[in-house]
Amino acid sequence: MAKLKNVKLVLQEPRKSGHLNKREFSEGIDFGDDLARCVICIGIPLYNIGDHQVIEKRQFNDKLHAKKNLLPDDEWYKIEGYRALNQALGRCLRHRNDWGVVIIVDKRLYETIKDNSHDKGKIFKWVIDNIKLYGYYETFRKQMKTFVNERNIISSN
C-alpha cells in the first residue's frame, strides 16, 4: 500500500466520514496497468432516490418521455446505475491485454443476468460471459488467488 501511495494518491477518506460517494469514485481516475487490478462493486450504484435533482429529472422524464423520446423515469434511473457500474468495472481493464478481477457483491445482479432479464442488456457482454457465483468465501479466495498468480507469471515473462 505504501508503494501505491508513492505512485498516486487515489482516495483519502475523511476520518469523520462513514461512507464513500459511490457514484463519483469511478469518474475521472486514470489507473496505470499495475494499479487497480481489482474493482469491488457492492450493489448497483444508483443515485440517491431522495435527491432533489434526481426527483426532478425523474418527474421531467415521466411527463415528457412520449413527446420528446425520453426514457421513462424508472428506466432512466436504472440505466444511470448500470452506466456507473460499467464505468467502474472498466477501470481495471483498460486495453485488450490487460487483466483484473471484478467483484460484484450483489446476488440480484447475478439473477438479472442468468434469468435473461430485460436489464441484462445494460451490462457489458464480457461481464455477462464471465460472471461466476460463489456461495463460499474460501472457494472464491482460492480461485481468485490462482487467477491472479497465473496472470502475474504471464506478465513477468
User: Tens place of pLDDT for every residue, the chain, 157 residues?
Assistant: 566 556 555 555 555 544 444 555 545 566 666 666 788 888 888 888 899 999 999 999 888 887 888 888 888 898 998 888 888 777 777 777 788 888 888 877 878 877 878 888 888 888 888 888 888 899 999 999 999 999 887 666 5
Cell numbers that stand for 30 in this block: 486514470
**In the prediction, which pLDDT does 138 show?**
95
Contact yes or no for 70/64 (Cβ under 8 A): yes
**In the prediction, which pLDDT does 52 show?**
92
Reference 20, options 43, 3, 37; nearest CA is: 43
Contact yes or no for 23/81 (Cβ under 8 A): no
Reference 77, options 93, 60, 90, 92; nearest CA is: 60
**In the prediction, which pLDDT does 19 show?**
44
Paired strand residues for 43? none
Reference 152, options 93, 96, 100; nearest CA is: 100
CB atoms within 10 A of CB 92: 19
**In the prediction, which pLDDT does 3 show?**
62
What does the domain layout of the chain look like in residue ranges?
36-156
In sequence order, which residues have a C-beta less than 8 Å from that of residue 118 and are 6 or more positions away?
Answer: none
